[in-house]
């Protein structure tokens, strides 16, 4: 890995907002002593370390603890080691070890002391054409080896190309296959997701199409252009603008770029993936260009890009009120003309509402039986089993909004005479509030994650608990697809089991990295005591069984 300028150990801000704790002097894995952080990445922090067994310097990449909660990233991190073990090439960083301890997961690699190509460009701005072709040819050789194994890098850029001086000449080492994809295995990324760095992405990658070796060749063409010109061919702070420029495909040729080198750049940057050369073909082409352009001086540093125009400062507000625009004398204000329309709209709305209410009232009286009239936006009253009271027709029913009830409703008025047998009153149903379910507040689940490492796929076990009226607890297991697991979870206090054990069998795992849970379960635990969730599991895949047991962090209920 890259050996950047030494930085003091301590708390450093990560690119994703997290912080790297001071782990200097800590022993991780079997025999690796962390010295100081030397780089930050999207998925981990790179430390300079020492192999205590051999005394050799190493680079240790630790996965961010905040990312351990994302199973796909853990699987991707382990996949990086698997891919690098497959790639035994002189221009690819060699992997030494992969370890897990507690909640940390680390990748141990060779320490490349020359820095990255990005740092080299910052110091020298441009690279001579012959040297750029030679270095790009080494990268093409590494890509050809990877493509032959069905692996696509998908994030080729100067930051991921490390330099090492051998006999006075720079040699490249390709690294960071963290988002690489093995072509014959399911992708770890979301379908149609855009993966990569926008400045180096092929036009088809912006549409989320399937990755292909041609995308790496396109990125290599961008890289070659940047080495000889000092900046990428398409530069913008807007991803949408970058996408437009990549799709248009019209790179500007700086004066002084040799014809042979420019022809290779244009072939790599062809908008049609099928017309780009393969990485293996580029090795021979770049070797010929390096010989033909040997001795050509580097281009001068590029001129700085023009800054965006600064808008003129807004005028300061004046304390003197502005003069009103002149208006003809005796002219009625404009708002008066709007008043009749507003009044008309209000009257029309009132009449419409009155018509709806009147129609509903007559419908309810058509057959002499009570009806529930439901108006849009107003909930119907919930009937009650309590004795109903009669209301006089001249007295409206209580509003559902106010829910008022008279302490002694007036008795119904029955007309005298023969017509007394006909009921002319309407029974009013009291408006009651629907019962509200009991609110049971629980906090978020707090989980303690432990990693058990298999060389093919890691298994992440996480006992979790949440407190509220009772204690909820569960066990989560994250593993690669194609296996089954048995999970047992219990709640313990003071060395004895107070709830459980509960066992979940035949938990099937599909996809690339799936999480299955046993629970949650509830326990009426006593308050004021300290508890912990105990979880044991057995995961079977490809005829092998991994077993583990983990106890969660202690908590007080």
Amino acid 304: pLDDT: 76
At 22, which CATH number?
A: 3.30.200.20
Residues 100 and 121 in one domain: no
As annotated, the active-site residues are 155
> Hey, what long-range contacts does 250-255 have (CB within 8 A, 24 or more apart)?
251/225, 254/228, 254/229, 254/299, 254/302
Longest dimension (CA), the chain: 125
Beta bridge partners of 44: 63
Range from 89-103, 404-418, 492-506 carrying the lowest mean pLDDT: 404-418
425 close to 369: Cβ distance less than 8 angstroms? no
Beta bridge partners of 477: 461, 516
Backbone angles phi, psi at 15, to 5 degrees: -65, -25
Residues 189 and 271 in one domain: yes
- Between 151 and 274, residue with greater pLDDT: 274
Amino acid 157: pLDDT: 93
DSSP 92: B
Inside any domain, residue 370: no
Tokens, residue 506:
């035949």
At 178, which CATH number?
A: 1.10.510.10
Amino acid 512: pLDDT: 64
Tokens, residue 3:
């050996």
The sign one gets for the Cα dihedral 287, 293, 295, 300 is: negative
Inside any domain, residue 454: yes
Mean pLDDT of 159-181: 84
**Nearest in space to 463 (alpha carbons), one of 104, 103, 105:** 103
Residues 125 and 106 in one domain: no
Amino acid 13: pLDDT: 37
Taking the C-alpha atoms of residue 471 and residue 477, their distance in angstroms, rounded to an integer, is: 20
Inside any domain, residue 361: no
> Could you tell me what percent of the chain has a pLDDT over 70?
64
pLDDT band at 451 (very low <50, low <70, confident <90, very high): confident
> Could you tell me what percent of the chain has a pLDDT over 90?
34
Total-model pTM = 0.56
State how many domains the chain has.
3
Asked if the model's pLDDT at residue 336 lies above 50, the reply is no
**Among candidate residues 59, 88, 113, the one where a domain is terminated:** 113
pLDDT band at 20 (very low <50, low <70, confident <90, very high): very low
Residues 182 and 104 in one domain: no
Inside any domain, residue 233: yes
Range from 18-27, 52-61, 351-360, 459-468 carrying the lowest mean pLDDT: 351-360
Tokens, residue 426:
């309407």
Mean pLDDT of 538-552: 88
Inside any domain, residue 305: no
Residues 530 and 540 in one domain: yes
**533 by DSSP, 3-state: which?**
strand
499 close to 523: Cβ distance less than 8 angstroms? yes
Range from 104-118, 133-147, 234-248, 363-377 carrying the lowest mean pLDDT: 363-377
313 close to 255: Cβ distance less than 8 angstroms? no
- Helix (H) or strand (E) run with residue 262 in it: helix 259-268
Amino acid 454: pLDDT: 65
Residues 523 and 465 in one domain: yes
- Between 2 and 236, residue with greater pLDDT: 236
Taking the C-alpha atoms of residue 383 and residue 429, their distance in angstroms, rounded to an integer, is: 7
At 486, which CATH number?
A: 2.60.40
Amino acid 491: pLDDT: 94
Amino acid 135: pLDDT: 97
Amino acid 196: pLDDT: 64
pLDDT band at 186 (very low <50, low <70, confident <90, very high): low
**Among candidate residues 89, 113, 137, the one where a domain is terminated:** 113
Q: Of 324-333, 472-481, 511-520, which has the strongest mean pLDDT?
A: 472-481
**Among candidate residues 97, 113, 129, the one where a domain is terminated:** 113
Q: Which domain range does residue 461 map to?
A: 446-556
Mean pLDDT of the chain: 75
Inside any domain, residue 483: yes
Residues 6+ apart with CB under 8 A from 22: 9, 10, 11
Amino acid 62: pLDDT: 86
Q: Of 145-159, 279-293, 452-466, 472-486, which has the strongest mean pLDDT?
A: 279-293
Inside any domain, residue 3: yes
Taking the C-alpha atoms of residue 245 and residue 289, their distance in angstroms, rounded to an integer, is: 27
DSSP string, 121-140: HHHHS---HHHHHHHHHHHH
Beta bridge partners of 520: none
Amino acid 396: pLDDT: 47
Total number of residues shown for the chain: 557
**454 by DSSP, 3-state: which?**
coil
Which ranges constitute the DSSP H helices of 487-545? none
pLDDT band at 197 (very low <50, low <70, confident <90, very high): confident
DSSP string, 299-330: PPPPPPPPPPPPPPPPPPPPSSPPPPPP--TT
Quickly tell me which residue has 């992405």 as its tokens.
Answer: 201
- Between 144 and 460, residue with greater pLDDT: 144
Amino acid 45: pLDDT: 85
Model confidence over 33-47: pLDDT tens digits? 999 998 877 667 889
Quickly count: other Cβ atoms within 10 Å of residue 254's Cβ.
Answer: 17
104-110/57-63 β-pairing: antiparallel
Residues 67 and 175 in one domain: no
- Helix (H) or strand (E) run with residue 165 in it: strand 161-166
Model confidence over 479-517: pLDDT tens digits? 877 889 999 999 999 889 999 999 999 999 887 667 899
Range from 141-145, 406-410, 465-469 carrying the lowest mean pLDDT: 406-410
Inside any domain, residue 240: yes
Residues 149 and 28 in one domain: no
pLDDT band at 424 (very low <50, low <70, confident <90, very high): very low
């Amino acid at each position: 890995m890259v050996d950047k300028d030494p930085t003091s150990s301590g708390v450093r801000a990560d690119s994703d907002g997290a912080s790297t704790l001071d782990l200097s002097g800590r022993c991780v894995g079997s025999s690796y002593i962390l010295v100081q952080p030397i780089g930050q990445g999207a998925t981990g922090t790179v430390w300079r370390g020492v192999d205590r067994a051999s005394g050799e310097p190493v680079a240790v990449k630790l996965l961010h603890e905040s990312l351990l909660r994302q199973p796909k990233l853990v699987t991707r991190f382990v996949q990086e080691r698997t891919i690098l073990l497959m790639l035994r090439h002189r221009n690819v960083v060699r992997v030494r070890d992969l370890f897990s301890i507690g909640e940390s997961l680390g990748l141990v690699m060779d320490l490349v002391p020359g820095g990255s190509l990005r740092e080299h460009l910052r110091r020298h701005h441009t690279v001579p054409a012959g040297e750029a072709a030679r270095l790009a040819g080494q990268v093409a050789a590494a890509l050809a080896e990877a493509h032959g194994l069905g692996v696509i890098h998908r994030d080729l850029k100067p930051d991921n190309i490390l330099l090492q001086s051998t006999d006075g000449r720079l040699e490249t080492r390709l690294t960071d296959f963290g988002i690489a994809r093995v072509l014959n295995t399911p992708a770890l990324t979301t379908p149609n997701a855009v993966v990569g760095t926008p400045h180096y992405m092929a036009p088809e990658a912006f549409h989320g199409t399937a990755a292909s070796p041609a995308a790496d060749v396109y990125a290599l063409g961008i890289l070659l252009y940047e080495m000889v010109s000092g900046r990428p061919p398409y530069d913008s702070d807007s991803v949408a603008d970058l996408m437009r420029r990549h799709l248009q495909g019209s790179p500007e040729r700086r004066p002084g770029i040799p014809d042979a080198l420019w022809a290779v750049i244009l072939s790599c940057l062809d908008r049609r993936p099928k017309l780009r050369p393969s990485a293996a073909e580029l090795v021979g082409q770049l070797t010929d260009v390096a010989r033909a352009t040997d001795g050509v001086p580097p281009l001068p540093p590029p001129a700085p890009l023009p800054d965006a125009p600064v808008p003129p400062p807004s005028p300061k507000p004046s304390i003197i009120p502005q003069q009103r625009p002149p208006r003809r004398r005796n002219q009625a204000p404009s708002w008066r003309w709007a008043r009749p329309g507003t009044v008309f709209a209000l009257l029309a709305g009132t009449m419409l509402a009155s018509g709806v209410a009147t129609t509903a009232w007559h419908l309810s009286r058509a057959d002499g039986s009570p009806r529930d009239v439901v108006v849009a936006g107003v909930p119907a009253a919930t009937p009650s089993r309590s004795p109903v009271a009669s209301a006089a027709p001249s007295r409206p029913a209580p509003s559902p909004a106010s829910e008022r009830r008279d302490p002694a409703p007036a008795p119904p008025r029955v007309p005298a005479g023969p017509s007394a047998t006909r009921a002319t009153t309407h029974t009013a149903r009291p408006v009651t509030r629907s019962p509200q379910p009991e609110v049971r507040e629980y906090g978020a689940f707090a989980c303690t994650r432990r990693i058990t490492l298999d060389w093919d796929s890691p298994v992440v076990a996480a006992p979790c608990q949440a407190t509220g009226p009772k204690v909820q607890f569960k066990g989560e297991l994250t593993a690669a697809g194609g296996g089954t697991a048995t999970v047992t979870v219990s709640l313990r206090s003071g060395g004895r089991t107070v709830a459980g054990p509960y066992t979940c069998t035949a938990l099937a795992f599909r996809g690339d990295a799936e999480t299955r849970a046993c629970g949650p379960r509830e326990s009426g635990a006593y308050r004021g005591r300290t508890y912990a969730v105990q979880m044991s599991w057995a995961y079977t895949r490809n005829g092998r069984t991994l077993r583990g047991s983990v106890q969660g962090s202690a908590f007080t209920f």
